[in-house]
């Protein structure tokens, strides 16, 4: 119940943001898009004072008392930045034990924004979001997009039929070093370090078996900072049912510094995970929700932008403007 209430508060915060600015928060803005939607929504979650400290910057925001930060000027992993040290209680689900352990002293989160039925990147800022490139608008078939916030008129499939937010377990990282790589724990992301960006949902579903025989590694960066606007850290994908694996299939040949990533809803609740719809309602989504054609790769819908999702009911609920009015099962 507490997790549901937390998610409801963030959904209402997004609505109040929209009422004020006629748009939802962007997934990420600021330097390299790293100031996330959670930061922008703070004034609407009884965190106005925290937001003002981020907006003001200066030496008051520095733990060492000397670094003079520009407004919204700190990287989300900056351990000297006082606002990031705050653990916002309504951003974590009480059932996730990893969410209660800070990452290098920085607060965590369990609630992410819906980017739709399409794979994304865990890094940010390398690709022009105003193009059709690997992290451009075609990657975001959901309610949230980089830099430019979307309004409710954009959600032509209906606000009661479209994901807004969802919960995802925190990974194993407790620092920003690579020390948590290959822990292979629940909440971590299975990794295949290659240029194979055509990996299918079937590959991802089977990836945990790869952990067992050492074929694949893992990374534990999910939820490690509440403020980051990077699409792979602040958004979830509607490609696999809740509590299926999250996966990092590899790198695009023309973007060797980026890893493609599938971020799957997950929780310690029995049988599924909580989601908030774009109308502000919160529901429990079952692990058994239909996810369509798992033989297709994570990028498939980028070549079919605006078309109905091939990823079943799950994909239809994740896409905001594909001519589908699919209700929650």
Q: Pick from 96, 122, 91, 121: which is nearest to 106 by CA?
A: 91
Q: Give yes or no for residue 135 having a pLDDT over 70.
A: no
By the 8 A CB rule, do 218 and 189 touch? yes
Q: Give yes or no for residue 272 having a pLDDT over 50.
A: yes
Please give the mean pLDDT across all residues of the chain.
Answer: 84
In this predicted structure, what is the pLDDT of residue 219?
76
Q: Give yes or no for residue 250 having a pLDDT over 50.
A: yes
Exposure string for 105-140, b = 16+ CB within 10 A, e = fewer = ebbbbbbbbbbbbbbbbbbbbebebeeebbbbbbbb
- Average pLDDT rounded to a whole number, residues 252-265: 65
Q: Pick from 255, 254, 253, 180: which is nearest to 218 by CA?
A: 180
In this predicted structure, what is the pLDDT of residue 214?
62
- Percent over 70 (pLDDT), the chain: 82
84-113 pLDDT, tens digit per residue, is 999 999 999 999 999 988 888 899 999 999
In this predicted structure, what is the pLDDT of residue 134?
44
Q: Confidence band (pLDDT; 50, 70, 90) for 61? A: very high
Q: Give yes or no for residue 298 having a pLDDT over 70.
A: yes
Among 11-20, 111-120, 228-237, which range has the highest average pLDDT? 11-20
In this predicted structure, what is the pLDDT of residue 255?
45
In this predicted structure, what is the pLDDT of residue 138?
56
In this predicted structure, what is the pLDDT of residue 253?
42
Q: Give yes or no for residue 68 having a pLDDT over 80.
A: yes
Q: How many residues does the chain have?
A: 329
In this predicted structure, what is the pLDDT of residue 131?
46
225-239 pLDDT, tens digit per residue, is 999 988 888 999 999
- Residue 235, strand partner residues: 113
163-218 pLDDT, tens digit per residue, is 999 999 998 888 765 555 555 677 888 776 555 555 678 878 887 766 656 667 77
Q: Confidence band (pLDDT; 50, 70, 90) for 130? A: very low
Q: Give yes or no for residue 329 having a pLDDT over 80.
A: no
In this predicted structure, what is the pLDDT of residue 201?
82
Q: Give yes or no for residue 281 having a pLDDT over 80.
A: yes
* DSSP states along 64-78: TS---BPTT-S-TT-
In this predicted structure, what is the pLDDT of residue 85?
93
Q: Which residue did the predictor score with more confidence, 31 or 193?
A: 31
Placement of tokens 């079952």 in the chain: 286
185-197 pLDDT, tens digit per residue, is 778 887 765 555 5
Task: Supply the pTM of this predicted model.
Answer: 0.91
């Amino acid at each position: 119940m507490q997790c549901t209430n937390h998610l409801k508060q963030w959904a209402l915060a997004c609505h109040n943001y929209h009422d004020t600015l006629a748009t939802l928060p962007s997934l990420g803005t600021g330097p390299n898009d790293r100031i996330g939607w959670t930061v922008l929504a703070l004034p609407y979650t009884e965190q106005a004072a925290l937001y003002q400290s981020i907006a003001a910057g200066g030496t008051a925001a520095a733990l060492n008392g000397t670094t003079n930060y520009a407004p919204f000027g700190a990287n989300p992993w900056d351990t000297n930045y006082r606002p990031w040290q705050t653990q916002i209680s309504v951003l974590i689900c009480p059932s996730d034990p990893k969410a209660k352990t800070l990452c290098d002293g920085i607060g965590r989160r369990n609630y992410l924004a819906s980017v739709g039925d399409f794979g994304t990147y865990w890094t940010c800022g390398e690709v022009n979001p105003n193009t059709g490139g690997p992290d451009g608008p075609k990657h975001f078939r959901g309610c949230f997009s980089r830099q430019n916030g979307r309004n409710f008129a954009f959600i032509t499939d209906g606000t009661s039929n479209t994901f807004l937010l969802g919960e995802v377990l925190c990974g194993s990282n407790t620092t920003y070093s690579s020390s948590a790589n290959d822990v292979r724990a629940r909440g971590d992301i299975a990794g295949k370090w290659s240029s194979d960006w055509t990996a299918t949902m079937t590959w991802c579903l089977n990836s945990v078996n790869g952990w067992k025989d050492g074929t694949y590694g893992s990374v534990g960066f999910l939820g490690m900072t509440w403020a980051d606007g990077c699409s792979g850290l602040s958004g979830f994908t509607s490609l696999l049912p809740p509590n299926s694996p999250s996966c990092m299939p590899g790198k695009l040949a023309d973007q060797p510094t980026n890893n493609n990533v599938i971020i799957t809803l997950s929780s310690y609740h029995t049988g599924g995970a909580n989601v908030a719809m774009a109308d502000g309602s919160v529901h429990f989504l079952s692990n058994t929700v239909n996810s369509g054609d798992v033989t297709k790769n994570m990028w498939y819908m980028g070549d079919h932008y605006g078309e109905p999702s091939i990823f079943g009911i799950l994909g239809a609920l994740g896409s905001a403007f594909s001519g589908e009015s699919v209700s929650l099962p």
